[in-house]
Copies of this chain bind each other. A is one copy, B any other.
Amino acid sequence: MLEVILLGCGGSMPLPNRYLSAALIQYKGRKILIDCGEGTQVSMREIKSGFKTLDLICLTHLHGDHINGLPGLLATVGNSGRTEPILIIGPTGTEKIWEGIKMLVPYLPFAVEVLEKPLEVDSLTLSYYDEEIQLTTLDLDHSSFCLGYRFDVKRQPKFDVEKAVANQVPKHLWNTLQKQTNQVCFENKVYTKEMVLGSSRQGIRVSFVTDTRPIATISQFIEKSDLFICEGTYGDEADLDRAKAHKHMTFSEAANLAKQGQVKQLLLTHFGVALTEPEQYLDQVTTIFKNTKLGEDQLRVELNFALNHE
Task: Using CB atoms and an 8 Å cutoff, list the residues of chain A in contact with chain B.
Answer: 12-16, 37-39, 41-42, 45-46, 64-65, 67-69, 71-72, 75-76, 79, 96-97, 99-105
**Do A97 and B105 form a contact, CB below 8 Å, given A16-B42, A38-B41, A46-B16?**
no
Contact with A103, one of B41, B72, B96 (Cβ below 8 angstroms): B96
Min CB gap A195→B, angstroms: 50
| Chain B residues, Cβ within 8 Å of A101 | 100, 104
Q: In whole angstroms, what is the CA distance A101 to B64 when docked?
A: 11
Q: Are A68 and B64 in contact (CB under 8 A)?
A: no
Q: In whole angstroms, what is the CA distance A37 to B73 when docked?
A: 12
Chain B residue with minimal CB distance to A102? B100
In the complex, the count of this chain's copies comes to 2
| Chain B residues, Cβ within 8 Å of A105 | 64, 68
| Chain B residues, Cβ within 8 Å of A79 | 12-13
Q: Are B104 and A72 in contact (CB under 8 A)?
A: no
Q: Are B68 and A72 in contact (CB under 8 A)?
A: yes
Min CB gap A251→B, angstroms: 23
Q: In whole angstroms, what is the CA distance A12 to B193 when docked?
A: 48
Q: In whole angstroms, what is the CA distance A14 to B79 when docked?
A: 13
Chain B residue with minimal CB distance to A16? B46
Min CB gap A68→B, angstroms: 4
| Chain B residues, Cβ within 8 Å of A67 | 104
Q: In whole angstroms, what is the CA distance A13 to B75 when docked?
A: 9
| Chain B residues, Cβ within 8 Å of A64 | 71-72, 75, 104-105
Known: A38-B41, A38-B69, A64-B105. 17 other contacts (CB 8 A): A12-B79, A13-B45, A13-B75, A14-B39, A14-B41, A16-B45, A38-B42, A64-B75, A64-B104, A65-B75, A68-B71, A68-B75, A97-B103, A97-B104, A100-B103, A100-B104, A103-B103
Q: In whole angstroms, what is the CA distance A142 to B73 when docked?
A: 23
Chain B residue with minimal CB distance to A100? B103
Q: In whole angstroms, what is the CA distance A100 to B68 when docked?
A: 12
| Chain B residues, Cβ within 8 Å of A12 | 79
